[in-house]
Amino acid sequence: MNSTGTTGGKANAGVEATGFEAASAAPEHGIIAGPDSVTPIVLRAMAGGEARLNELMTALVRHLHAFVEETGLTEDEYQRGLGFLAAIGHATGPTKNEAVLLGDILGVSTLVTLQNNAREESATASAVLGPFWRKNAPRMPLGGNIARGDTPGVPLEVNGRVTDAAGKPLAGVDVDVWQASPVGFYENQDPRQPPMNLRGLFTTDADGRFHFKTVRPAGYPVPTDGPCGDLLRAQNRHPYRPAHLHFMLSAPGYRTLVTQVFADDAEGLNRDVVFAVLRSLVGRFEETTNANGEREARLNYDFVMEPGEQSFPIPPIP
């Protein structure tokens, strides 16, 4: 026996390398007697640690174990499920975030988003960030065009005003905008588009207003070349999102508002694969024909921010 209470040099070396205390110092939680004893014993083993982590892990284990029992999960299904999770990790890299996509197509992202935002009824609803937001979109003057280079499509002018819940205009709010092209690709998915195409950062004026030019976005399928695509196919689900613009509004002293505005004439508003469409987020895309017979569109959409913390999400891609 040595000073750490273990026997033999080898065991000691192992204990030192892990940074954990010796096994003999850990609380006992019991010996498994059969399937019914697994959950209470696992919960007992997880009784320590930081309080919120403990709460989250305890609930997660309870629900996971209940899922295994309710479905009678087989060993083969369990192996396939683990393989799926590993594939999600392998498919995630610098230009693609399959983990974010999984949360989105399961409706978890929308649930978390709605549960944590727009606490005041008049505040603009939030919508999922999605896997395509990039930090450092080019800062542009009001009225600038985010369709860079040659991006054929129906010209769209967007006008908006940002206020608080009492209607006070909010000046100096950063309005970060990103969208898919008229053929349904984000710039990072499409080598034909210039870098940062259809992305821009504007700042509201003294009256809380902003405006910019772009082209009408198209609806598009979420990426289907990875495990999430396999899951959608296996479930006989479609992969489509209705046409929308993404907005992230931020200012010191206000909760950062991440949302999307959907075109009222978009196909599939009531079958979004990521469940992000709320009625209040459908904007009127007013189309007219100009003197040359060409289509043009306008969107007026106002935003209401809530007081709170200005914070930014972890960018899903660089």
CB of 16 to ligand BEZ, least distance (A): 45
CB of 83 to ligand BEZ, least distance (A): 22
Binding letters toward ligand BEZ, positions 273-312, x by CB under 6 A: -x--------------------------------------
Binding letters toward ligand BEZ, positions 185-204, x by CB under 6 A: --------------------
Beta bridge partners of residue 176, listed in sequence order:
201, 248
Should residue 269 be labelled a site residue for ligand BEZ when binding is judged by CB under 6 A? no
Should residue 104 be labelled a site residue for ligand BEZ when binding is judged by CB under 6 A? yes
Should residue 98 be labelled a site residue for ligand BEZ when binding is judged by CB under 6 A? no
Task: Select the span of 128-136, 200-208, 280-288, 289-297 touching ligand BEZ (CB under 6 A).
Answer: 128-136
**Distance from C-alpha of 15 to C-alpha of 12, rounded to nearest angstrom:** 5
Whether 313 and 257 have beta carbons less than 8 Å apart is answered as no
Should residue 231 be labelled a site residue for ligand BEZ when binding is judged by CB under 6 A? no
Whether 114 and 298 have beta carbons less than 8 Å apart is answered as no
**Distance from C-alpha of 91 to C-alpha of 225, rounded to nearest angstrom:** 9
Out of 88, 124, 126, 132, which residue is the one contacting ligand BEZ (CB under 6 A)? 132
Task: Select the span of 26-34, 38-46, 112-120, 126-134 touching ligand BEZ (CB under 6 A).
Answer: 126-134
Should residue 243 be labelled a site residue for ligand BEZ when binding is judged by CB under 6 A? no
**Distance from C-alpha of 110 to C-alpha of 242, rounded to nearest angstrom:** 15
Using CB under 6 A as the binding criterion, the count of chain residues that bind ligand BEZ stands at 9
Out of 96, 161, 199, 241, which residue is the one contacting ligand BEZ (CB under 6 A)? 241
Should residue 272 be labelled a site residue for ligand BEZ when binding is judged by CB under 6 A? no
Task: Select the span of 5-13, 41-49, 127-135, 196-204 touching ligand BEZ (CB under 6 A).
Answer: 127-135
**Distance from C-alpha of 310 to C-alpha of 254, rounded to nearest angstrom:** 6
Out of 91, 101, 158, 261, which residue is the one contacting ligand BEZ (CB under 6 A)? 101
Should residue 247 be labelled a site residue for ligand BEZ when binding is judged by CB under 6 A? no
Task: Select the span of 29-37, 118-126, 129-137, 307-315 touching ligand BEZ (CB under 6 A).
Answer: 129-137
**Distance from C-alpha of 280 to C-alpha of 123, rounded to nearest angstrom:** 10
Should residue 173 be labelled a site residue for ligand BEZ when binding is judged by CB under 6 A? no
Kindly tell me which of 132 and 303 has the beta carbon lying closer to ligand BEZ: 132
CB of 198 to ligand BEZ, least distance (A): 11
Dihedral through CA 226, CA 227, CA 231, CA 237, nearest 10? -20
**Distance from C-alpha of 204 to C-alpha of 16, rounded to nearest angstrom:** 56
Q: Taken in order 128, 65, 44, 22, is the CA torsion positive or negative?
A: negative
Half-sphere exposure of 261 (CA within 13 A, CB side): 21
Name the residue number minimizing CB distance to ligand BEZ: 130
Half-sphere exposure of 219 (CA within 13 A, CB side): 20
Only one residue has tokens 């935002």, namely: 117
CB of 131 to ligand BEZ, least distance (A): 5
Which positions touch ligand BEZ (CB under 6 A)? 101, 104, 128, 130-132, 222, 241, 274
